[in-house]
Amino acid sequence: MRILKEDCTGLVIDLQERLFPHMHQYQSLLQRTRVLIEGLKLLQVQIMVTEQYPKGLGPTLEPVRLALNEIPAIQKTAFSCCDEPSFSGEAGKLSRRTWIICGIETHVCVLQTVTDLISMNHVPVVVADATSSRNPLDKQVALERMRQEGAIVTTTESILFELARVSGTALFKSISNLVK
């Protein structure tokens, strides 16, 4: 199945100040997430962002917030974004079926959101190098489960080039510079 940018929405799940430093390989996670966000913006893919209980976990991490250019975060207490009425309301307004997903933690909020999106006949595309958990085994098992449930698992560079489709354009050059 080919993933087309015209049918995509980006989803950044819970990259928050107090939880983020506890993620496995968090520096790499931050770098890949920023590349993904910048690439989606270049491709003109709409992006949504969530925060899990910001009173306890803090706001979205500042470098991520800056990359998102003031896209307002949807606050939630449910683990699955789909269980949050304000998220469901906004998502319901979109006619796009494919969700490009990054965030934390892979085995909790990302997993539950992905399985709910699948049950709603959406196509979740989980960007493995832009997700993390505190424990690498939790992430690995969650990615395997999501794949078994029907999610597509990919990497930042792979999805950005797939969405760009062709080389030799200004867009391709911009994305190439991002992923270097």
Residues noted as catalytic: 14, 76, 109
168: which DSSP letter? Answer: S
CA nearest to 121, candidates 148, 142, 104, 98: 98
What phi, psi does 118 have (nearest 5°)?
Answer: -60, -45
Max CA distance (Å), the chain: 47
Helix (H, G, I), strand (E, B) or coil at 102: strand
> Would you say the C-alpha torsion 146, 148, 152, 153 has a positive or negative sign?
positive
